[in-house]
Chains A and B, each alone.
Chain A
Amino acid sequence: MGKARILVVDDERNMRTTLSDILAEEGFEVSTAESGERAVKICKHQPFDAVLMDVRMPGIDGIEASRRIRRIQRDIRVIIMSAYSVDHLMEETLGEGIVAFLRKPLDAEYLITLLGDA
């Protein structure tokens, strides 16, 4: 079984850097995207096991980006992370294959556990 492939999507560079470094350290194969559009584009050419998706970004938001990606890669696991309350998003995206909603600042330990199951 190969390394799980993770796509980290966030418009904040430091977020992308720290997350990809943590996950790479844990042995994941990590790619990053700075916007929803960019993430969708990457997914057209490259398969992923999971996508770690920010919500509020310039351009299309993380929820819309996730929907488009799932149309390309049906089985991809989506983990949403947000600086905002995610309660309303949980209701809004019910049945769209989102496995977790995480609030920033992230509990990195928990994230690793979550992705380990991917």
Chain B
Amino acid sequence: MSSRSSPRQRSHRGVDELSRLQRQVEELEHLLDSVDGIVWEADIQTFQFLYVSRQAERLLGYPLESWLAEPDFWERHLHPDDREWAMNFCLTATKEGRDHEFEYRMIAADGHPVWLREIVTVNSVGDGEPVLRGLMVDVSPHKEAEHRTADENLALLSLAKSEELGRGDLVAFNRLAMETAARTLDVERMGVWLFSEDRSVLRCVDLYERSTGRHSDGLELESASYPRYFSALYEGRFVSADDAQNDPKTSEFAESYLAPLGITSMLDAPLIRAGEVIGVVCHEHVGAARKWTLDEREFAASVAHFVSHAVEAQKRREAEQAASAAREQLLDQQKKETQNVEAELERVRDKLVQQTRLSTIGQVAASIAHELRNPLGAIGNARFYLSRRVADDDPKWAEHLGIIDQEVHTADRIITNLLEMTRAKEPSREWTDLGDLARSAFDRVEETDGVRLTLSTRPDPFLVDADPEQLRQVLTNLVTNSVQAMEGRGEIAVVAHSEGDFDVIALQDDGPGIDPEAKELVFEPLYTTKAKGTGLGLPICRQIVERHGGSIELAKPRGPGARMVIHLPRSKARTKEQEAG
């Protein structure tokens, strides 16, 4: 039918056809322009663009004319890092007539890199040379996400390998972790919060503000004020709120915390140690609300994991420090005890030396005593014999025989004292009235006519559990010393009372007293200041008192004179008896 149409008709039809084609081209162009990518056609030899769709202008910011006019437009706007390999790749593929696909970067008009995915086909058009046709798709968001993931992984790696974590320094690690997380996730405020012992309070141990670069700590949140949030945490749940001020999980904080600080989105990852929630790492975003991605949540979980690890390391370190402190304390104590033992040993050694001296003297004394007592005995006997025969006739004879008798007795007493030292005789205790003992001791001492003995005991009578003979010897020696020191004139006061577990007996005279510097010397065997002393009286006293488990010392006198104080342990039986009485 068309072959029969008139030329006019034909011409009319041609116009129609043309306009139809025109319309189709427009539609096609419109279609190409609306594709979310750049559709292009280029010379296979020079790579000069023959056609680019409008998207090119929008995507990279260069006018379409530049794309088409500049022969090496594509090469010139490749990212310098990608230029060489991308060109080579394309040239090779094109030479081989292969379709190809790759990703690379171009630099946009504003200077920023744009990631593109390029799908290129080699097309034959009629008999002429083939042309290249392709589609460039902007894959920048995808690439950025990939890079973010890589950044996050790097950040996590740096945390994992950090020295702070290694040495268990929780404070330093928290600072590092919060700074790293804030930077990596682009969050304004990051915080580490730990539960109190009973988990009723969350305490902030590190809060980092990215804009100021400041760290702080010490804020506290009570569970009673934020029940929903705490119960979510107790269960170890992740609290992710894109719209924190309205999200029911976090809206408890809206008025007091979120709104004043302009926090819009929150992401809180629980800290878990040995299966128990010990705290939380908080991400607080300021600015336009954001949607936390899965990647970001995973990153947050990883940071929380590291912080938990650091807390654990810290606890372990604290435990080790406590153990080490305890160990040191123990060592200290041992050292002190060793010192005590050494001091005690020293004391015992001194004592032994003194006792050895005493016993050596005693042994010598004992051997001398036998030799001496026989001649003394013979002298005594001879005197007795003579006294029977001549005393009545001549008073001078009698006087001199008396002198012999006295001196034999004196010599014998010296020997007795010396022998007393050698006898390690255990006290044979019985209840004895101290007053009686003191009086009988006083009576034994000679030349006491000008000396007054006063007794003052509480209670009265004052019963002591001691060997009466031995205690009397002690008192006799003390009274003898006092009488001699006072040269036969003065007062001796014996005072006794109970003090704790001890009976305290003090004997004070009003003689010239004893030089305080000789305090210990007076108890040394053979030390004497008296012309006639043996230097054994006080050492014997000390030996006896110590055998009773007590002590004797020269005390500071009350007023003039000398004061000796004896401490005797009081037996329990006696204490009861007195309480009953």
Contact = CB atoms under 8 A, between A and B. Distances in A.
B294 to A, nearest CB: 103
Contacts of A81: 377
Interface in A45-85: 56, 81, 83-85
A85 B419 contact: yes
A113 interface: no
Given A18-B378, A83-B373, A83-B377, A105 B412 contact: yes
A105 B377 contact: yes
B495 to A, nearest CB: 34
B369 A83 contact: yes
A19 B380 CA distance: 10
A106 B419 contact: no
Given A85-B423, A105-B381, A106-B380, 18 more contacts: A12-B375, A12-B378, A15-B377, A17-B378, A18-B378, A22-B381, A22-B384, A25-B388, A81-B377, A83-B369, A84-B369, A104-B373, A104-B376, A105-B373, A105-B377, A105-B380, A105-B408, A106-B377
B2 interface: no
Contacts of B87: none
Interface of B: 366, 369-370, 372-382, 384-385, 388-389, 408, 412, 419, 423
Contacts of B382: 14, 18
A108 B381 contact: yes
Interface string A83-108: 11100000000000000000111101
A85 B423 CA distance: 10
Contacts of A12: 374-375, 378
16 contacts: A12-B374, A12-B378, A18-B378, A22-B381, A22-B388, A25-B385, A25-B388, A25-B389, A56-B370, A81-B377, A104-B373, A105-B373, A105-B377, A106-B377, A108-B380, A108-B384
Contacts of B385: 18, 21-22, 25
Nearest to A54: B374
A21 B378 CA distance: 11
Contacts of A108: 380-381, 384
Interface in A7-30: 12, 14-15, 17-19, 21-22, 25
B470 to A, nearest CB: 14
Contacts of A19: 381
Contacts of B379: 105
Contacts of A14: 375, 378, 382
Which of A19, A25, A105, A109 has the most B CB atoms < 10 Å from its CB? Answer: A105
A63 B378 CA distance: 21
Given A56-B370, A83-B369, A104 B384 contact: no
A84 B381 CA distance: 18
Which of B374, B377, B379, B423 has the most A CB atoms < 10 Å from its CB? Answer: B377
A3 B370 CA distance: 32
Given A15-B381, A18-B382, A83-B369, A105 B388 contact: no
B388 A104 contact: no
A77 to B, nearest CB: 20
Nearest to A11: B374
Contacts of A22: 381, 384-385, 388
B379 to A, nearest CB: 7
Given A22-B384, A84-B369, A84-B370, A104 B377 contact: yes
A115 B374 CA distance: 21
Contacts of B389: 25
B371 to A, nearest CB: 8
Contacts of B378: 12, 14-15, 17-18
B277 to A, nearest CB: 84
Nearest to A56: B370
A21 B412 CA distance: 23
Nearest to B415: A83
A21 B389 CA distance: 11
A105 B370 contact: no
Contacts of A21: 385
Contacts of B423: 85
Given A22-B385, A105-B412, A83 B374 contact: yes
B315 to A, nearest CB: 73
Contacts of B373: 83, 103-105
A108 B382 CA distance: 10
A85 B373 CA distance: 11
Which of A12, A56, A83, A84 has the most B CB atoms < 10 Å from its CB? Answer: A83
A108 B386 CA distance: 12
Contacts of A85: 419, 423
A21 B382 CA distance: 9
A106 B379 CA distance: 10
A103 B408 CA distance: 13
Contacts of B419: 85
B381 A18 contact: yes
B306 to A, nearest CB: 86
A114 B423 CA distance: 29
B473 to A, nearest CB: 14
Contacts of B375: 12, 14
A103 B423 CA distance: 16
Nearest to A109: B384
B374 A15 contact: yes
A75 B381 CA distance: 27
A81 B376 CA distance: 13
Contacts of A109: 384
Nearest to A104: B377
Nearest to B374: A12
Contacts of A104: 373-374, 376-377
B381 A83 contact: no
Contacts of B384: 18, 22, 108-109
A104 B423 CA distance: 18
A18 B374 CA distance: 11
Contacts of B370: 56, 83-84
A51 to B, nearest CB: 17
A32 to B, nearest CB: 13
Contacts of A105: 373, 376-377, 379-381, 408, 412
